[in-house]
Each structure stands twice: as C-alpha cells, then as structure tokens.
A and B are shown apart, each in its own frame.
Chain A
Amino acid sequence: MPADITEPLLCVSGLTVRSTTGTTLVSGVDLELREGEALAIVGESGSGKSLTARSIIGLVPTGLHAAGSIRFRGEEILDLPERRRARLRGAQISMILQDPFTMLHPMRRCGAVITETLRTATGSRLRKDERRREAVRRLAEVGIHDERVAGQYPFELSGGMRQRVAIAAALAQNPQVLIADEPSTALDVTTQKEVLDLLVDLQRSRGMALILITHDLRVAFSVCQQVNVFYAGGVSEVGPAEELEAAPAHPYTLGLLLAEPPADRRVRDLVNIAGTVPTPDAVAGRCAFAARCDWATDVCRSIAPRLVDTEDHRRVACVRTDEIAGEMRETRERYETVDVAPSLAAVGTGLVRARGLQVTYPPRSRRDAPMQALRGIDIDIGPGESVGIVGESGSGKTTLGRCLTGLATPSGGSLEIDGTDAIAYAACSRDERRKLRSAVQMVFQDPYSSLNPSRTVGAALGEALAVRYGKDVGPERIGALLDRVGLPAGYAERRPVALSGGERQRVAIARAIALEPRLLICDEPVSALDVSVQAQVLTVLRDVREELGLAYLFITHDLAVVRQIADRIYVMNKGEVVESGPTHEVLEAPQHPYTQRLVASVPGNDAGTPSAIAS
C-alpha cells in the first residue's frame, strides 16, 4: 500500500492505556515518527513512556488495555489480531529493553539468539553454516569482531557486549523502526556512551527510524532530532532537540533541564521540582503539572491543556506558554550563570587515613582466582570534608565504603578512623567498635530496600536515636530529625510504603545522622531516584553537612552529581585510585586516560575521545 507522502511512518493518536481495574496509565498520547528519524520520549517514572512503546510494538502487559489509534505506514495496527501483529514485530518494528543482563536468554548462545528470527524466502530456517555466517556478520555490524562471541552464552559477556548482541538480534530482520527503552541506563558510564553512539551510527547507516526512551534529557538531546517530553501519562511538549534545549516552552521541561545537575560546574542552588509525579487519574481534567508549577493559575487547575502547535514546529500543552516565556528564560539564565567556587578546604587529614588498603574476596569456585576488590589504595578524609569516590562497577568504590563501616574486612594495609585503628574491625574491643560505628554511618543506594517496611518512620528513627540518647527518645527529637531532612513531623507515623523514593531516602539520611556521626558514607544515594527528586535529596545532603559539619564520602558513578557535592575526588578503576585532587581540577583537566574517558562519556560532552569499539 503506497503511503501518502505526508503520512508519517508511524502515527500515534489519542493513545490511552488503562488497567482492567480502571486505572489510567497513559492518557491521550499523540506521537509522530517520520522515516529515518530519531525521536526521543523523555519522562520520569510513571510518565507512561514505556507503556507507550509497548503499545506501539503490541506487547502491552497482561491486565492492561490500549485504546486509541496507532497507524504504521497508514495502516491501523492497534486492533490487528495477534497473528498479524506478530508479523510486524521484528520485521517492521523491533525493540530492545533496558537491562542487558535479563534481556537475553541465559541458556542460548548469542549466535542462536541473533539468527533465530531469520528465515529464507520460502519461510524455512537457514542452514547451519548460513546461520553462523549471518551471526558473525551481524556481530561485526554492532562492533563485535570476535567471532567466538557467536558461540558464547550471554553470562560470559560484559553488560556492554550483551547490549550489542541484543541490538544485533533486534535488528536481524532489518526493521524500519527500532524502539530502545532506556538502552544505556543499566550500563557503566563509558559503556553507555559507546552503546548510544552505536545506536546513532546504526540508525544513520540503515536509514532506520529510532524511538529512544530515556529519563535523561541530555541523552535525548545528544541522540535524537525530535524530543517528546512525557509527564503523568501525557505529552507535555514536543519539538526539535536543539530548540527544546535552547528554549523549553513548558515549565516541566524547564524544570527537568534545570534539575539535571551540570557536570561542568558547581551551582549554588540545585533546582528541584517540589513534590512528585502524580498519577494520570489524580490530575484528570486539569494541567498535570499545575501542582508543581511556579506559574500555575486557576485556569491551569480547571482545564486540561491540549497539545497545541506553536511557532517553529513545536507543540506545547500549556495554556500560559506565551505569557510566561520571558519569565522562564530569566529563570533559566539566573540558575545557569551562578557558579560558585568550591569551598577549598586544605587536603584534610585526621578523620580517615587509609594506606595501602587491600580487600581480597575469596574465589567463587576453586578454579577462579581470588577477587582483588581493592589493590592497595591511599585515602584521606579530613573532618568536615566532602570527598567523592568516582568509578564504574567493579572499581572497588562500594567495597571501600563497606571497609569504612566494617562490613568488609581488609586483607592488608592500614586504616585509621577518628584516631582508632579500624583495620581489624572484628578484633576491636566493644567500646572501640561502638565508637567506630557511631563515627561512621551509611546511606545506601536503594531507599526501597534499606528501610524495614513493617516499621514506622518514627520507630526506625527512634531506634537510631536511642543508641545515642538511651531508651526514652521523645517525639520532639524525632520531629527535629525529620525537620532537618525537610520532612514534616507527621511523617513519623507513616510506614515506608506510604513514602515516595525521595522521601524514603530522606528518612534514610535522617536515620544515618541520628547518631551524629563524623563521617557519612553515601553509596550512590540518588542514582535510584528520578531526576526531579535527585536535586531535592542532594540539597538535603548539602544542608545537613553545612549545619552539622560532618564529613562525606560520596560514592557515585555520576560526574555531574559528584561535581555538586564533593570538594575533592578520587577516581577509581579496577581496585586502584588512578587520579585524585580537587573536584574542579580533576574534571576540567583530567590527567589519567581513564578519567579522560569518563569525562568524555558524559552525554552531550563530545569533546573527548571518539567512541571506543569493544574488542
């Protein structure tokens, strides 16, 4: 069927996804994808971005129902019977998922996964030697030139390699559209960049259309020409990437842009969007963003804004967009020009002093060698200093944090915390251990698993306070603690399930500072949180440090985050410290090749080295 010239390749209109119980998850999404175009869907969790993608490919999870219209090459495909729908999948529209560790069949060899959808012209499977040849060719296309990979199982490969294999498998039948759902989120920073570059290369060389789903505006801008911003199950703004980046027309887009901490400078006030993403049903009949918007008026709260065309190919769902454009521009300029010099404390000593610290984990099986997580590192932390540890998975950064809290036992070197020898935590006397434990506290990455779900916030905090103040801890102490992390005292009655991710992380911080430690170890405390909430938690951490004067060891993979919070950083790779120094110096003029690669991997940072091809 020859498509109308003006008809886009894929056209979604009025797409709604509801559960059988009547909850709306996606409400009235419109989307247009043209041939060979790279389009981004950007949104936080609960925005409906993944469900939109699932509806397009026809894999809506059980218990949900999609309604509306999805036209592919002019043909309505949303209501096609499953049999005909399945024929489109893989051949016309294909998809890769977020997690390369779960996406590939763990018991099938990579070559088999890549070629299993291939058929000859007559519909029969390819011969064995043809399959092998195809697998090798497809692997080469995604930058894997080692032919042995075709015969390997996914568990024998790294995350980046697995994601490449998955891309090769998804593209096996040469589809017109590839949907990539957070393809780089589960990967390390340097691998992230490689995978995104690969997607862009493939999209251009194949002339294929790409729908990139991401929570990260910077990723969207660096990969896509067209960006759709989703909020609470609907589209809030659509436009070309450069224009959206230069002048967001919707207050939510502006908020997202500002909430994303910059990697190239330290800002004094991190911008955060108050509150959390609502459910589509909670904001039906009005602007979904009104409750969190600085410019909201009664009009916003009484009608749902429609997505309307503005000048220069943009569409915005905001009734006040023209009136507030000027103010939004001013707000942006105000925040973006502020650049504070970091508080340059002298290289601190005294609180933590580690020399030649080693940690070796016993081998997993008799054939493996013991795993050296830390290969003799030197770390100093002064009282009140904020020190960042930057590294990817396997760098040993988490092991270091665990050493300082006595959760991992060093196998060599020396470690002194607050004047106490902490190298052999277990061998310390009870009093020494007590002292060490109250001197060092920890905030973990996942606020969903670090709080006991059956205890109220008040009980959790009261328990921590009791360690310091004895049995009877009055509610006023708990209230004061909650106040310190910006939560109302009434939260003491709540259980973790009634809190959002950001609120839970605040409670975790409150619990950690209840003991008034001298050092707070934060292991990726914001990486599990949505962008708009990240800034809230970072601000709380900054304020707490200012008020209490405690030292931080901030463990993260995110250079932008570390830039905002640490005065001095150590860059770790494979159990060693490869570079250290004041944050701005290390990030602006990285000396070690590994640090240079890390800095070059920040999305939108193309000044660095070209993408390395996995060997």
Chain B
Amino acid sequence: MNSLALYLLRRLAAAVLVVLVVSFLIFCCLYLAPGSPEQAILGPQQATPEALATIRSDFGLDDSFVLQYWHFLDGLLHLDLGRSFQTGESVGSGITSRLGVTVPLALGGFLVACVLGIGGGIIAAQRRGRMSDRALGTLGVVAASTPAYASGVLFLYVFGVALGWFPVSGSGDGLSDRAFHLVLPIVTLGLVGAASMFRRTRVAVVSALERDDVAFARARGLSSREVLQKYVLRHAMVMIATSAGVILIFMLAGAAVVESTFDLDGVGSYLLTSINDKDLPSVQGIAVVTTALVVLINLAMDLLYAVIDPRIQRGAAAD
C-alpha cells in the first residue's frame, strides 16, 4: 500500500500544479482583456478621473501585473478569493451560497445520467441487434441531439405551464421547496448526460461480452446473472467509470446553461453575470473553484481505477 500512498501524493502534487497553472492563465486572460475594470465598476455616469483613481488604488489596480497576481495567489492560500467589484461582497461566500443550487443540480443530473445511461446501456448491449436495442439507441440519439436549453424550455412548457406540476422559475427556499424547484432542471441536465453514458456503456458491455473470459465463464456453467456481475460489468466498469468522470465534469459545465434556462441562482448564472459585468475577482474565483473541482473528480477517478483493477496496484502492464 506504500506505493499507493506515494502514487496518491504524486497525483495530489500534480493536481495543485494544474490549479496553479490554470489560475495563472485565467489571470493573464482577464488582465489582457480590453476595457478597464474601474470603468465597469463605476458605470458611465460617475466616471470622473478622481473617482477612477480612487477605485484603482482601492482595488490595487495600479500595482504591477506580478504583484497583482501575487496578491491573488496569497489570497488563494488563505482561501480568500477577494471581493466582487460590483457588489463588494466576498467572492468566496458568493460561490459557497450558490453551490447550494449548483451541487445538488449537478449531482442530481449525474445520478439521472448514470441510472438511465448505465441501465439502458446494459439492456441494449445484452439485446444487441434486436428491436429493443434499436429503440433505446434511437431514444439515445434524440436525447443527445436535443440541446439542454431546448429540452428545458419544452419541459417548462409541458410540466410547468400546461400541466402546472412544477414551478417555472426560482431556486426555492428550504430543503423540500428547493428539491421541488430542482426536479425539472435535474431531468433536463440528466437526459443529455444519459445519452452519452448510454452509448459508452453499451459499447463497453458489448466488447466485454465478446471477451474470451466471458465465453469461458459461460462454458463452465456460471449463470447469466453471475456472468454479468462478476465478469461483464467488472470489465465494463473501467470504461463506465471513465465515462462517469467525464459526465460529472460535463454536468458542472451544463449546469450553467440549465441554470439560466430555469432562472436558478447557481454558480453558472453567477459566472455569466460576472463576465457581463467584467467583475474580475468573481470570474477568477469561479474559474479556480471549478478547476479545483474538475481536478478533484479526475483524481477520484484515478483512485477508483486502482480499486477496480488490481493490475494497476500491482504495477503490471495491463494486457
């Protein structure tokens, strides 16, 4: 297990490095972006030269590029992402409060994607070539090719306006109300992920079914349930887990679209507003937090492989 700890340490160090590099790139992009932040902060009316100068010194905008980045990094170390240019509130707490919408949305969508995608994929693979396989495949194509904002609007119309089952906007207050508000967004987000999950699972299970060891297991009389659990899914698991990681990351990105479609106050809509307002600290903060989340998901996936496949732990070349 010592080697596993070492492996973990190396991956963690790499993860920190990735976050650093990405934060630097984002910082550069925003620094070089046209237009000045102090203009955006004041708006067209009060932009007197004195007011601009005060703002510049208040937010440290006259410092050199390196110094500004250093301040940003220093804040990052203390988990301080700075203050929003627009509202003056802490970026950190702004993100945290909105994660209360985005995390349930992304995780819920992920769950829907996994249950529908993996379940459908296994069924389709086992019945490959038959009618049910083709029907599921068609559904998958429809789900994959419908953009989230289109299906979101459709759901809003059918279940929100026409049937009146679900609320049409807002994030809701309290646990149950929020959950109620999130049902349609989660289904919308989940369907897109489910389509991609379905296709990858089907391919993984079909190729696992064609393996020699699966044929050998059946030839020795293992029941089809045992063969599915111990053999087929075990093989397909590495590929399914990889897809799941990609889908989870995709859910974070897709959340932005769904949040604005359903008028949810999540991290995604926060990012869109901040970009429009040229609110640099907020954009930076959201980007760094998202990067850290993505890196963490990837790290978790790598660890999962080591658990799934003993060959990785024992350091043998996979054959």
Residues of A within 8 A of B (CB): 57, 59, 62-63, 82, 86-91, 94-97, 99, 101-108, 116-117, 153, 155-156, 166, 169-170, 172-173, 179, 364-365, 367
- A97-B311 contact, Cβ under 8 Å, with A91-B221, A173-B221: no
- A365-B224 contact, Cβ under 8 Å, with A108-B230, A116-B230: no
Task: Judge whether A90 and B219 touch: CB under 8 Å.
Answer: yes
Task: Judge whether A117 and B221 touch: CB under 8 Å.
Answer: yes
Candidates B129, B213, B222; contact of A103 at CB < 8 Å: B213
Other contacts beyond A106-B318, A169-B216, A172-B220: 5, CB < 8 A: A94-B220, A102-B211, A105-B234, A107-B309, A107-B310
Tell me, in angstroms, the Cα distance from A317 to B86 when the chains sit together. Answer: 92
- A107-B311 contact, Cβ under 8 Å, with A97-B212, A102-B213: yes
Show 24 residue pairs from A and B whose CB-CB distance is below 8 angstroms, ordered by the A residue: A59-B215, A59-B218, A62-B129, A89-B220, A94-B219, A94-B221, A97-B215, A97-B216, A101-B319, A102-B211, A103-B213, A103-B216, A104-B213, A105-B217, A105-B234, A106-B309, A106-B311, A108-B230, A153-B310, A153-B314, A155-B316, A155-B319, A169-B220, A367-B315
Tell me, in angstroms, the Cα distance from A401 to B21 when the chains sit together. Answer: 46
Tell me, in angstroms, the Cα distance from A179 to B221 when the chains sit together. Answer: 14
Tell me, in angstroms, the Cα distance from A88 to B222 when the chains sit together. Answer: 11
Q: Hey, what's the 0/1 contact readout for B290-319 against A, CB within 8 Å counting as 1? A: 000000000000000000111100111111
Tell me, in angstroms, the Cα distance from A153 to B213 when the chains sit together. Answer: 14
Task: Judge whether B222 and A90 touch: CB under 8 Å.
Answer: yes
Shortest CB-to-CB span from B220 to chain A, Å, is 4
Tell me, in angstroms, the Cα distance from A166 to B316 when the chains sit together. Answer: 21
B134 interfacial by beta-carbon distance below 8 Å:
no
Across-interface contacts of A367 in B (CB, < 8 A): 315
Task: Judge whether A153 and B311 touch: CB under 8 Å.
Answer: yes
Across-interface contacts of B309 in A (CB, < 8 A): 106-107
- A105-B316 contact, Cβ under 8 Å, with A97-B216, A155-B311: no
Tell me, in angstroms, the Cα distance from A103 to B309 when the chains sit together. Answer: 17
Shortest CB-to-CB span from A102 to chain B, Å, is 4
B110 interfacial by beta-carbon distance below 8 Å:
no
B72 interfacial by beta-carbon distance below 8 Å:
no
- A117-B222 contact, Cβ under 8 Å, with A155-B319, A365-B315: yes
Shortest CB-to-CB span from B101 to chain A, Å, is 40
Across-interface contacts of A63 in B (CB, < 8 A): 129
Tell me, in angstroms, the Cα distance from A82 to B319 when the chains sit together. Answer: 32
Which positions 192-217 of chain B face chain A at CB distance < 8 Å? 211-213, 215-217
Shortest CB-to-CB span from B242 to chain A, Å, is 16
Across-interface contacts of B234 in A (CB, < 8 A): 105, 107-108
Instruction: Give the residue name and chain of the A residue nearest to B221 (CB).
Output: A90
B223 interfacial by beta-carbon distance below 8 Å:
yes
Across-interface contacts of B230 in A (CB, < 8 A): 105, 108, 116
- A86-B221 contact, Cβ under 8 Å, with A107-B308, A155-B311: yes
B85 interfacial by beta-carbon distance below 8 Å:
no
Tell me, in angstroms, the Cα distance from A229 to B129 when the chains sit together. Answer: 34
B231 interfacial by beta-carbon distance below 8 Å:
yes
Instruction: Give the residue name and chain of the A residue nearest to B234 (CB).
Output: A107
Across-interface contacts of A94 in B (CB, < 8 A): 219-221
Which positions 16-72 of chain B face chain A at CB distance < 8 Å? none
Across-interface contacts of B128 in A (CB, < 8 A): 62
Across-interface contacts of B211 in A (CB, < 8 A): 102
Instruction: Give the residue name and chain of the B residue nearest to A173 (CB).
Output: B221
Shortest CB-to-CB span from B128 to chain A, Å, is 7
Across-interface contacts of B318 in A (CB, < 8 A): 106
Task: Judge whether A96 and B216 touch: CB under 8 Å.
Answer: yes
Task: Judge whether A95 and B219 touch: CB under 8 Å.
Answer: yes
Task: Judge whether A170 and B219 touch: CB under 8 Å.
Answer: yes
Instruction: Give the residue name and chain of the B residue nearest to A88 (CB).
Output: B221
Across-interface contacts of B221 in A (CB, < 8 A): 86-91, 94, 117, 173
Instruction: Give the residue name and chain of the A residue nearest to B220 (CB).
Output: A90
Across-interface contacts of B319 in A (CB, < 8 A): 101, 106, 155
Tell me, in angstroms, the Cα distance from A108 to B235 when the chains sit together. Answer: 11
Tell me, in angstroms, the Cα distance from A57 to B224 when the chains sit together. Answer: 15
Q: Across chains A and B, which 10 residue pairs bring their CB atoms closest together, nearest first? A: A90-B221, A102-B212, A95-B219, A90-B220, A89-B221, A103-B216, A105-B213, A103-B212, A155-B316, A117-B220
Tell me, in angstroms, the Cα distance from A97 to B216 when the chains sit together. Answer: 7
Across-interface contacts of A155 in B (CB, < 8 A): 311, 314, 316, 319
Across-interface contacts of A103 in B (CB, < 8 A): 212-213, 216
Across-interface contacts of A166 in B (CB, < 8 A): 216
Shortest CB-to-CB span from B159 to chain A, Å, is 40
- A104-B310 contact, Cβ under 8 Å, with A89-B221, A90-B222, A91-B221: no
Interface centre among A90, A99, A107, A116 (most CB of B within 10 A): A107
Tell me, in angstroms, the Cα distance from A364 to B311 when the chains sit together. Answer: 14
Shortest CB-to-CB span from B25 to chain A, Å, is 32
Tell me, in angstroms, the Cα distance from A95 to B216 when the chains sit together. Answer: 7
Across-interface contacts of A59 in B (CB, < 8 A): 215, 218-219
Instruction: Give the residue name and chain of the B residue nearest to A57 (CB).
Output: B219
Tell me, in angstroms, the Cα distance from A166 to B222 when the chains sit together. Answer: 14
Shortest CB-to-CB span from B230 to chain A, Å, is 7
Tell me, in angstroms, the Cα distance from A62 to B207 when the chains sit together. Answer: 13
Shortest CB-to-CB span from A180 to chain B, Å, is 11
Tell me, in angstroms, the Cα distance from A82 to B317 when the chains sit together. Answer: 37
Tell me, in angstroms, the Cα distance from A176 to B217 when the chains sit together. Answer: 18
Task: Judge whether A364 and B220 touch: CB under 8 Å.
Answer: no
Task: Judge whether A105 and B220 touch: CB under 8 Å.
Answer: no
Tell me, in angstroms, the Cα distance from A367 to B314 when the chains sit together. Answer: 11
Tell me, in angstroms, the Cα distance from A86 to B216 when the chains sit together. Answer: 13
Across-interface contacts of A86 in B (CB, < 8 A): 218, 221, 223-224
Interface centre among B211, B216, B218, B235 (most CB of A within 10 A): B216
Tell me, in angstroms, the Cα distance from A62 to B314 when the chains sit together. Answer: 35
Instruction: Give the residue name and chain of the B residue nearest to A112 (CB).
Output: B230
Across-interface contacts of B235 in A (CB, < 8 A): 107
Interface centre among A155, A156, A367 (most CB of B within 10 A): A155
Instruction: Give the residue name and chain of the A residue nearest to B213 (CB).
Output: A105
Across-interface contacts of A156 in B (CB, < 8 A): 314, 316
Instruction: Give the residue name and chain of the A residue nearest to B209 (CB).
Output: A62
Task: Judge whether A89 and B218 touch: CB under 8 Å.
Answer: yes
Shortest CB-to-CB span from B166 to chain A, Å, is 43
Tell me, in angstroms, the Cα distance from A298 to B222 when the chains sit together. Answer: 51
Q: Hey, what's the 0/1 contact readout for B267-292 against A, CB within 8 Å counting as 1? A: 00000000000000000000000000
Instruction: Give the residue name and chain of the B residue nearest to A101 (CB).
Output: B319
Shortest CB-to-CB span from B86 to chain A, Å, is 52
Interface centre among A63, A82, A91, A103 (most CB of B within 10 A): A103
Q: Hey, what's the 0/1 contact readout for B110-137 against A, CB within 8 Å counting as 1? A: 0000000000000000001100000000
Shortest CB-to-CB span from A52 to chain B, Å, is 14
Shortest CB-to-CB span from A202 to chain B, Å, is 16
Instruction: Give the residue name and chain of the B residue nearest to A87 (CB).
Output: B221
Tell me, in angstroms, the Cα distance from A116 to B44 when the chains sit together. Answer: 76
Tell me, in angstroms, the Cα distance from A106 to B316 when the chains sit together. Answer: 11
Instruction: Give the residue name and chain of the B residue nearest to A102 (CB).
Output: B212
Across-interface contacts of A104 in B (CB, < 8 A): 213, 216
Tell me, in angstroms, the Cα distance from A57 to B216 when the chains sit together. Answer: 11
Tell me, in angstroms, the Cα distance from A94 to B315 when the chains sit together. Answer: 33
Task: Judge whether A116 and B222 touch: CB under 8 Å.
Answer: yes
Interface centre among B226, B308, B315 (most CB of A within 10 A): B315
Shortest CB-to-CB span from B208 to chain A, Å, is 11
Across-interface contacts of A170 in B (CB, < 8 A): 216, 219-220
Instruction: Give the residue name and chain of the A residue nearest to B227 (CB).
Output: A86
Tell me, in angstroms, the Cα distance from A270 to B318 when the chains sit together. Answer: 42
Shortest CB-to-CB span from B133 to chain A, Å, is 11
Across-interface contacts of B219 in A (CB, < 8 A): 57, 59, 89-90, 94-97, 170, 179
Tell me, in angstroms, the Cα distance from A6 to B308 when the chains sit together. Answer: 52
Tell me, in angstroms, the Cα distance from A195 to B77 when the chains sit together. Answer: 63
Shortest CB-to-CB span from B90 to chain A, Å, is 46
Instruction: Give the residue name and chain of the B residue nearest to A53 (CB).
Output: B219
Instruction: Give the residue name and chain of the B residue nearest to A153 (CB).
Output: B310
Tell me, in angstroms, the Cα distance from A155 to B319 when the chains sit together. Answer: 8
Task: Judge whether B212 and A99 touch: CB under 8 Å.
Answer: yes
